[in-house]
C-alpha cells in the first residue's frame, strides 16, 4: 500500500460501526437527500417564476424606453427618453446595423447613460430580435433579463430589467430552507437515535446475554445459564432473533446439564473404582513380594513372572493413587493451607531426580532468600517431582535440566523447569495437560508413565489458585508454574 493511499485513508472520515449508528446515519442521510431535493426544486421553481414575471414586464413595456433613446424632436420640445411607467433600473439600448448606438438605465425617474464595454457590445449584438427573454451580464450593471424586438427604422430595441431582486429572493429562500432543514435534520437525528435505541433494546439484551454466556467456564463443572430473554415478539425481526436465542440457550443449558451429570458419574466411577482397586492391587503386590522372598529354589520363569507382577502392581498402585487424587481435586476437596518452604522442596526433588537419572545434567537456580508460599506441602512437592520426572522420562541421557525459582514478588512466585531435549510435538502441546496424554505409548508403558503426571501438575496448581503454562520448541522445553503470593498466618486445612 502506497503512502498516498495511506494518507487518503487517514483523511477519510470514519464510518459508523454499530448497527444503531448506521441506522441513524442512514435515516439522517435519506432525510438530507430529501431536504436537498425539496430545497433545490423550490429554489429553481421560484427563480423560474420570478424570471417569468420579469419576462412579462418586459413584454408589456414594448420597448418604449429603448425606442425613446433616439431623441427625436417632439412637439413639446422635450427630447429626453420616455421613462414613464418604467421601474428603476430598467435598461434600454438601441442597435443599428448590429452596433449599439445608445444605452441608458433609469435612475430615479431619469435616465443615465451607461458606457458599454466591448464584451457588452458583443453580448447585446448577439441577441436575436424575437422578443424572448434572455439573461446577460453587463460589466457595469450586473445580471439583467433582456428582450430584443425589431424597431420601426430597421433598428433593434433592447429592454432589460435587473435580476438582483430575483437573486436576493432566491438566496433568502435558500437561507431559510438551510436553517429549517438543518434544524429538522438535527431534531430527526436525535429522535431517530432514541427510537433506534429503543427498537434495538432486545437486540442489546441478546448481545449482553451472549457475552455473559461466552464468559462462563463451559468446558467443565456445573454452569448456571442466564435466564431467557423477555420481549420475544416473533412478529418482529428482533423478536425472532430473541426467540431463536432463547431456544439456543435452552438447548445449550440441557447439553451442559447432561455433560455435568456425565462428568459426575464418571468422577464417582473413577473414585469408586480407585477405592475398590486399591486393596486388591496392594494384596497382589504383597503376595508377589512375599513369593519372591521364599527361601527355597524358584524357577527362573516363575521368578520372572513374579517380578513382572510386582512391577505392574506397583505401576497400578501409582495409577490408582493418581486417579484418587484427581477425583478429590475434581470434587473440590480443600487442600492444606500451610506455609511451605518452596526452596527446600526444590532441593529435595532435585536430589531425588539426580539419583533416579544420573545420566542427565541437573542444575538448580534459587534466590538467596528462601521462597515460601501458602499451600499443601505434599502436593506442591508432587508438582515439582512430576515436572522433573517428565523431563527425565521424555529426554535422552545427557540432557540438561534446570529447576529455577524466581524471587517472590507481590504478584506471586514463579517456578520453571527447562530442558534442552527434543521438545514436545506441536500437535500434542494443546493437550499436554489432559489426562492420559502420551507422546510415545510404547515408551510410556516401558517407563511406567500413566499419562497423569502433567494432569496432576495442572490440577494441583489450579487448586492452589495458580496456573501452569508450556513453551516448547525443538531443543528447548519450559514448564512455568505460577503460584499466588503467600497469605500471612496461613492456617492448616483439611
Q: CATH topology of 62-162 equal to that of 336-483?
A: no
Backbone angles phi, psi at 136, to 5 degrees: -135, 165
Q: How confident is the model at residue 494 (pLDDT cuts 50, 70, 90)?
A: very low
What is the domain partition of the chain in residue ranges?
16-60+164-199, 62-162, 216-333, 336-483
Q: What is the mean pLDDT of the chain?
A: 80
Q: Is the model's pLDDT at 490 over the cut of 70?
A: no
Q: What is the mean pLDDT of residues 102-110?
A: 78
Q: Is the model's pLDDT at 443 over the cut of 60?
A: no
Q: What is the mean pLDDT of residues 456-466?
A: 90
* Multiple choice CATH, 216-333, 1.10.1740, 1.10.287, 1.10.3470, 3.40.50: 1.10.287
Alpha carbons 54 and 483: distance in angstroms, whole number:
93
Reduced to 3 states (helix: H, G, I; strand: E, B; else coil), residue 360 is coil
Fold category of 62-162 in CATH: Beta-Lactamase (3.30.450)
Of 13-17, 126-130, 262-266, give the lowest mean pLDDT range.
Answer: 13-17
Alpha carbons 91 and 363: distance in angstroms, whole number:
109
**For position 37, what pLDDT does the model report?**
92
Q: Is the model's pLDDT at 249 over the cut of 90?
A: no
Segment 375-424, tens digit of pLDDT: 989 989 999 999 999 999 889 999 999 999 998 888 889 999 999 989 88
162 or 64, greater pLDDT: 162
Beta bridge partners of 418: 402, 478
Alpha carbons 395 and 246: distance in angstroms, whole number:
52
Segment 386-399, tens digit of pLDDT: 999 999 988 999 99
Alpha carbons 267 and 283: distance in angstroms, whole number:
25
Q: Is the distance from CB of 185 to CB of 32 less than 8 angstroms? A: yes
Q: Is the distance from CB of 433 to CB of 457 less than 8 angstroms? A: yes
Segment 118-137, tens digit of pLDDT: 898 888 888 888 888 888 99
Q: How confident is the model at residue 41 (pLDDT cuts 50, 70, 90)?
A: very high
Segment 167-195, tens digit of pLDDT: 899 999 999 989 998 898 889 888 888 88
**For position 434, what pLDDT does the model report?**
82
Q: Is the model's pLDDT at 294 over the cut of 60?
A: yes
Contacts 24+ apart (CB under 8 A), 25-28: 27/188, 27/189, 27/192, 27/196, 28/185, 28/188, 28/189, 28/192
Structurally, at CATH architecture level, domain 336-483 sits in 2-Layer Sandwich (3.30)
A 10 A CB-CB count for 99 gives: 10
Q: Is the distance from CB of 324 to CB of 318 less than 8 angstroms? A: no
Alpha carbons 318 and 450: distance in angstroms, whole number:
8
Helices 237-292 and 300-330 meet at what angle, rounded to 10?
Answer: 150
Segment 202-224, tens digit of pLDDT: 777 777 777 777 777 666 666 77
435 or 480, greater pLDDT: 480
Nearest CA to 438 among 446, 481, 466, 220? 446
Reduced to 3 states (helix: H, G, I; strand: E, B; else coil), residue 156 is strand
Q: How confident is the model at residue 493 (pLDDT cuts 50, 70, 90)?
A: very low
Q: Which cell numbers in the block locate residue 96?
A: 443599428
**For position 92, what pLDDT does the model report?**
87
Beta bridge partners of 480: 416, 469
**For position 491, what pLDDT does the model report?**
47
Strands 413-419 and 400-405 turn out to be: antiparallel
Q: Is the model's pLDDT at 321 over the cut of 70?
A: yes
Backbone angles phi, psi at 159, to 5 degrees: -125, 140
Beta bridge partners of 103: 93
Q: Is the distance from CB of 64 to CB of 92 less than 8 angstroms? A: no
Q: How confident is the model at residue 236 (pLDDT cuts 50, 70, 90)?
A: confident
Contacts 24+ apart (CB under 8 A), 294-300: none
Amino acid at each position: 500500500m502506497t503512502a498516498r493511499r495511506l494518507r487518503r485513508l487517514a483523511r477519510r472520515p470514519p464510518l459508523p460501526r454499530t448497527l444503531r449508528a448506521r441506522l441513524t446515519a442512514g435515516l439522517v442521510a435519506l432525510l438530507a437527500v430529501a431536504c436537498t431535493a425539496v430545497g433545490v426544486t423550490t429554489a429553481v421553481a421560484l427563480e423560474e417564476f420570478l424570471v417569468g414575471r420579469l419576462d412579462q414586464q418586459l413584454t408589456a413595456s414594448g420597448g418604449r424606453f429603448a425606442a425613446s433613446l433616439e431623441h427625436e424632436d417632439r412637439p413639446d420640445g422635450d427630447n429626453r427618453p420616455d421613462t414613464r411607467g418604467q421601474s428603476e433600473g430598467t435598461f434600454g439600448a438601441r442597435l443599428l446595423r448590429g452596433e449599439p448606438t445608445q444605452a441608458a438605465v433609469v435612475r430615479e425617474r431619469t435616465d443615465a447613460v451607461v458606457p458599454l464595454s466591448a464584451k457588452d457590445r458583443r453580448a447585446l449584438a448577439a441577441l436575436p430580435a424575437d422578443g424572448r427573454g434572455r439573461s446577460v451580464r453587463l460589466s457595469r450593471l450586473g445580471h439583467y433579463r433582456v428582450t430584443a424586438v425589431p424597431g420601426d427604422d430597421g433598428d433593434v430595441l433592447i429592454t432589460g430589467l435587473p435580476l438582483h431582486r430575483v437573486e436576493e429572493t432566491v438566496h433568502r429562500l435558500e437561507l431559510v430552507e438551510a436553517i429549517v432543514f438543518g434544524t429538522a435534520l438535527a431534531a430527526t437525528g436525535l429522535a431517530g437515535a432514541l427510537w433506534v435505541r429503543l427498537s434495538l433494546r432486545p437486540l442489546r439484551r441478546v448481545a449482553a446475554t451472549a457475552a455473559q454466556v461466552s464468559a462462563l467456564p463451559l468446558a467443565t463443572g456445573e454452569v448456571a445459564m442466564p435466564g431467557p430473554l423477555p420481549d420475544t415478539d416473533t412478529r418482529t425481526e428482533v423478536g425472532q432473533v430473541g426467540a431463536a436465542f432463547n431456544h439456543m440457550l435452552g438447548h445449550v443449558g440441557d447439553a451442559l446439564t447432561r455433560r455435568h451429570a456425565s462428568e459426575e458419574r464418571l468422577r464417582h466411577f473413577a473414585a469408586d473404582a480407585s477405592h475398590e482397586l486399591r486393596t486388591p492391587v496392594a494384596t497382589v503386590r504383597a503376595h508377589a513380594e512375599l513369593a519372591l522372598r521364599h527361601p527355597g529354589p524358584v524357577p527362573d520363569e516363575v521368578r520372572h513372572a513374579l517380578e513382572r507382577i510386582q512391577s505392574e502392581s506397583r505401576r497400578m498402585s501409582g495409577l490408582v493413587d493418581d486417579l484418587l487424587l484427581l477425583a478429590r481435586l475434581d470434587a473440590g476437596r480443600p487442600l492444606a493451607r500451610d506455609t511451605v518452604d518452596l526452596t527446600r522442596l526444590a532441593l529435595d526433588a532435585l536430589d531425588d531426580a539426580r539419583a533416579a537419572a544420573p545420566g542427565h545434567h541437573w542444575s538448580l537456580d534459587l534466590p538467596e532468600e528462601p521462597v515460601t508460599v501458602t499451600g499443601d506441602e505434599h502436593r506442591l512437592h508432587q508438582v515439582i517431582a512430576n515436572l522433573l520426572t517428565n523431563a527425565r522420562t521424555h529426554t535422552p541421557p545427557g540432557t540438561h535440566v534446570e529447576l529455577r525459582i524466581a524471587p517472590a514478588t507481590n504478584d506471586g512466585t514463579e517456578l520453571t523447569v527447562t530442558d534442552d531435549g527434543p521438545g514436545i510435538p506441536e500437535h500434542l502441546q494443546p493437550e499436554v495437560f489432559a489426562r492420559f496424554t502420551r507422546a510415545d505409548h510404547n515408551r510410556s508403558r516401558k517407563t511406567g508413565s500413566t499419562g497423569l503426571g502433567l494432569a496432576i501438575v495442572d490440577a494441583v496448581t489450579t487448586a492452589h489458585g495458580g496456573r501452569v503454562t508450556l513453551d516448547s520448541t525443538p531443543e528447548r522445553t519450559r514448564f512455568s508454574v505460577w503460584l499466588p503470593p503467600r497469605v500471612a498466618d496461613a492456617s492448616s486445612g483439611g
